[in-house]
Chains A and B, each alone.
Chain A
Amino acid sequence: MDVLTTVTIIFLLYSLYLLYKSYKLKCSTNCYLVDYVCFKPSPDRQITTRKCGEIIERNKKLGLAEYKFLLKVIVNSGIGERTYGPRNIIEGREESPTLDDAIEEMDEFLNVCIHDLFVKTKISPRDVDVLVVNISTFCPFPSLASRIVHRYNMRDDVKTYNLSSMGCSATLVAIDVVKNIFKSGKKSIAVVITSESISPNWYSGNDKSMMLGNCLFRCGGSAMLLTNDPAMQAQAKMRLKCLVRTHIGANDDAFNSAVQKEDDRGRVGVHLSKDLPKAAMRAFTENLKRLLPKILPYREIALIAFHIVKQKLVQPDAKLNKVVAQINFKSGVDHFCLHTGGTAVIDAVRRALRLSEYDVEPARMTLHRWGNTSASSIWYVLGYMEAKKRLKKKDRVLMISFGSGFKCNSCLWEVSRDLGDGDVWEDCIKEYPPKTLVNPYLDKYGWVHEETEETFNREERTEAFKNSPW
């Protein structure tokens, strides 16, 4: 009997221990955002609209039509006067970028931003277990992930991943990698670095579909620190609730909507086709179909289901537009971080989700202050909301981003505590929102429309432009 009791007791204790271990493992599968830091380049890298005009002027291959087109794009872009560009373009060397230019651009970001992140979070680089870097259009060898390991002297069992060419939605792909690694339950600290490289990607030709990139992209980047350690929950800013990725590359039009290729003269640029907005909308719709059941409250889902069933019974063949029009997206989300791809993108998403100006204000202001910084833009938008003290405990933040391929990725965060850290917006948040977002040069560039090919004398105009009071 003694033996039996002993065996039973040992067995019971061991089973309880196993159950406890499994429970602990389950608790360590959450993904917490401890902190993030956005990059603010030095003031000598600021580009005004006038400077943009000068830079475009330097391209002697442009004719009047292209020049008009580009100026129109710039003044209508919603981009303000304080965005940042890479040094080689500002200094006039955009047509012959060297490898060193690109590396220097990245170094300025990596040396400052990641250092600030470690200081803010009080984590040592030696504690980092996972490092995911996504910088889409620049891929040196060894990778930028290795560059960071070297620069910050990280451990040799650090898991590095260097994602590349995944477009403007790549930051959420990086978060996806981290989320999946965290699911194993082992307590880890992950650092995600997101940026874009502008220097080596200047398009020096005159194909209109490839010139948009030159006008809209600006320098920026962000570094995030994530963990699944429940002990750091108090320090964390947000917790990841769900992440949905959609890839409609199977559709040829969507796949070819943003393609890097050579133009007919052999110059490399990213061709943006006219199907891009349509592809974006399709990807967005696909994404919403999978996202909404995860983020909307049960009451709302039941209501939508009820409406769908009602419509199917009454008009089986009719489209579901009316039902879609009745969905209240704001019942499940308090704040919207939209990728600042351009005013068109922001307006399109605003219409689709029926948001107010207040909801899209962070995205518009980010576009104005920082331009389209590609994948890192959603972190600047988040920074704006935090600086404006909009983020309170238990608020839900939805991040939506689009990328070439064509991808639409979204994720929902839950805010863990009231946030108010201004970060890069600290010095200018009081000026936002400004009275008007209209470009000050809108009417100044009106003269372009009066010119014709014969009367357009560029040298004369350049002189006049330089001597003008603005």
Chain B
Amino acid sequence: MANEPLPPFSSSVRLKYVKLGYQYLVNHILTFILIPIIVGISIELARVGPDEILSLVRFLNDLDLIYVMSTLFLVIIVGTVYFMSRPRPVYLVDYACFRPKPNFRVPFSTFLEHARLVPQFDERTVRFQVKILERSGLGEETCLPPANHYIPPTCSMAAARAEAELVIFSAIDELLNKTGMRPKNIDILIVNCSLFSPTPSLSAMIVNKYKLRSNILSFNLSGMGCSAGLISIDLARDLLQAHGNSNALVVSTEIITPNYYLGKERAMLLPNCLFRMGAAAVLLSNCRRERSRAKYRLTHVVRTHKGADDAAYRCVFQEQDSEGITGINLSKDLMAIAGDALKSNITTMGPLVLPASEQLLFLFSLIARKVFKAKWKPYIPDFRLAFEHFCIHAGGRAVIDELQKNLQLSDQHVEASRMALHRFGNTSSSSLWYELNYIESKGRMKKGDRVWMIGFGSGFKCNSAVWKCLKTIKTPVDGPWSTSIHRYPVDIPAVVKVL
């Protein structure tokens, strides 16, 4: 990954993102005004004394029945209207990740051997790829699909479909087993897979395999990068607000088969080294009866799109190299752009999640700097007070390192991301779910904990979602980490010598 460090967040804070976050708060301003009025009235009542209150009660008994009834009626109407117009809660009932079998493993030695045998790679290209792998933070158990185990890799459409069927169906099978959900009860289906979109779509493939209903609302998102999982969650949330008593199945994956780069352009070889096989299936619901067994509730989703900026738009770009071979070009500015996008995202997220103390401190510091022109350093709120767990997209080791430094997170906070990168590689949009499963498998997820998921994607997008845990997750957890959690965390050296 690029070597430039992220610019420190304290260098500037854009006012407009703060405004965005505060706007959400201001919408409820009238409710906030009501509180001091109620407090005032209670103080007045307390001051007045118990005798007066008794005389009040007696007064009420003398009132016309009609007056009392109409007031009660009004209370009930307003209460009902109020509760009906509130946004529906979105519960995460459960989720399942694809568990790759050991025969798909690509240890460093296999990677090196295969790279040497592929006729399109010369020695220089092989050495470069291995050098990246050594410093990548990936372990020896990451998996590639069957097509990539051939020499040279067989990147046919049939093989890509086979991989899609393998990863998606096993994740969904596991999810349906875990939750006991019948396929006929699924009302919404959203699938996101960036680099493979056959006709008919992957969502149609799922409808066909599980015989879903004919009035299902299915959507197939493509090309939206590693943050597409959270985009699908956002879409599911909007759909669940519009349709009551519904279940939504969200499937996030990335199909590796058709995207192996067989050229010589260095910036395009990076995805070969980092991307690995993975998929996740998530069941969301807004049914009241699912509340009792749901694991999490979705509280916020914030999306930031930096596409208007040239450098941000070009930083992860699919193009053809000088020989006409298609690959994904990762620019050297990736870190800086990721940092900028994250900064915008967390500035909007801040007012929604930070405790009042941090917000006030931040506000004072902002006012002092902008209005009174005081030469103070901008106050960066402590996000560790807002969240217990962090799931940062395991895009690469450098990204996790820099984010840890800038958000001032401890090693334990980023452990889930590092270990998921080590065990499963960069599984793109599904990586966040592998990380969440790590935290659960370690027995760290307690009721009331808040989880912050951050995903980055091409475009350049930074999306984040906040979940609140509804029940303590007991170990052992049956998931992709079942066979390996006892070996983690591991110490990942800066360089693992292969050559």
Contact = CB atoms under 8 A, between A and B. Distances in A.
Interface of A: 1, 3-4, 6-8, 10, 12, 14-15, 17-19, 21-22, 25, 98-100, 136-137, 139-147, 149-150, 153-167, 173, 176-177, 179-181, 183-184, 245-252, 255, 258-262, 266, 268, 270, 286, 290, 404-407
A207 to B, nearest CB: 14
Contact of B204 (A22, A183, A405): A405
B488 to A, nearest CB: 32
B235 interface: yes
Q: Which 6 A-B pairs have the closest CB atoms?
A: A143-B223, A164-B222, A149-B307, A249-B207, A146-B459, A405-B204
A23 B230 CA distance: 31
A407 B317 CA distance: 32
Contact of B211 (A22, A98, A99, A250): A250
Contact of B215 (A6, A10, A150, A290): A290
Contacts, number: 234
Interface in B17-60: 20, 30, 34, 37, 41, 44-45, 48, 56, 59
B238 A181 contact: yes
Contact of B37 (A10, A150, A176): A10
A450 to B, nearest CB: 38
Contacts of B307: 142, 146-147, 149-150, 154, 156
Given A99-B320, A164-B222, A250-B212, A150 B310 contact: yes
A247 B216 contact: yes
Nearest to B78: A15
B242 interface: yes
Interface stretch (B135-143, B171-179, B193-201): B193-201
A15 B214 CA distance: 42
Contacts of B45: 3
A262 B161 CA distance: 11
B341 to A, nearest CB: 8
A165 B224 contact: no
A142 B225 contact: yes
Contacts of B158: 261-262
B303 A157 contact: yes
A1 B59 contact: yes
B459 A149 contact: yes
A194 B460 CA distance: 22
A133 to B, nearest CB: 9
A321 B342 CA distance: 60
Interface string B185-221: 0000000001101111111110110011111111111
B313 A150 contact: yes
B219 A163 contact: yes
Contact of A166 (B44, B216, B220): B220
Nearest to A6: B41
A150 B307 CA distance: 5
Contacts of B245: none
A8 B63 CA distance: 14
10 contacts: A3-B56, A4-B59, A140-B223, A142-B313, A149-B313, A165-B220, A177-B219, A180-B241, A249-B207, A262-B158
A98 B157 contact: no
Given A161-B221, A165-B220, A156 B344 contact: yes
A290 B457 CA distance: 39
Contacts of B56: 1, 3-4
B305 interface: yes
Contacts of B59: 1, 4
A17 B30 contact: yes
Contacts of B242: 179-180, 183-184
A136 B277 CA distance: 24
Interface in B38-93: 41, 44-45, 48, 56, 59, 71, 74-75, 78, 81-82, 84-85, 87
B208 A255 contact: yes
B308 A149 contact: yes
Contact of B238 (A184, A245, A250): A184
A395 B213 CA distance: 32
A143 B85 contact: no
Nearest to B204: A405
Q: Which among A22, A98, A156 has the highest number of chain B CB atoms within 10 Å?
A: A156
Nearest to B306: A156
B326 interface: yes
Contacts of B286: none
Contacts of A140: 223, 318
Contacts of A153: 308
Contacts of B20: 157
B406 interface: no
A404 B203 CA distance: 11
Contacts of B213: 250
Given A141-B458, A262-B156, A159 B222 contact: no
A15 B306 CA distance: 41
Nearest to A154: B308
Contact of A165 (B37, B199, B344): B199
A260 B199 contact: yes
A1 B299 CA distance: 42
Contacts of B241: 180, 183-184
Q: Which among A1, A150, A255 has the highest number of chain B CB atoms within 10 Å?
A: A150
Given A22-B81, A143-B459, A150-B307, 13 more contacts: A3-B44, A21-B85, A142-B318, A142-B458, A162-B222, A164-B201, A165-B198, A165-B199, A166-B219, A173-B219, A180-B243, A255-B200, A405-B207
Contacts of A7: 41
A405 B56 CA distance: 69
A162 B305 contact: no
Nearest to B316: A142
